[in-house]
Amino acid sequence: VAVITLFVLALLIIVMVKFNEKANPVPSRTSHNTMIEVVWTIAPILILVVIAVPSFRLLFKELDIPQYEMTVKATGFQWYWGYEYTDEDMGGISFDSLIVADA
């Protein structure tokens, strides 16, 4: 994120220096540039497509739920957590996770 921010800051400074009134006493009278308008419309679309492809791949992998090995029921109480193993072969083990103050 910092690299992108510094890159954008550098571009802004370059544009401010290059296109200020002293460096450009006669401004351009260009009103439309079709190529630039097409590029700044297509470029964000392509960036979003590049980001979307791996995202959708990950979302579809999320639908494949593996077979479980055990079931743990975690219950949140006001100041602690309670855990219970609900599988038949676990024998109904349950315990509470309490915070112990440092001595």
Q: Containing H/E element for 45?
A: helix 34-62
Q: Contact, 53 vs 47, CB < 8 A?
A: no
pTM of the model: 0.42
pLDDT tens readout for residues 12-70: 999 999 888 888 788 777 778 889 889 999 999 999 999 999 999 999 998 888 888 88
Cα(58)–Cα(56) distance, rounded to whole angstroms?
5
Q: Would you say residue 86 has pLDDT above 80?
A: yes
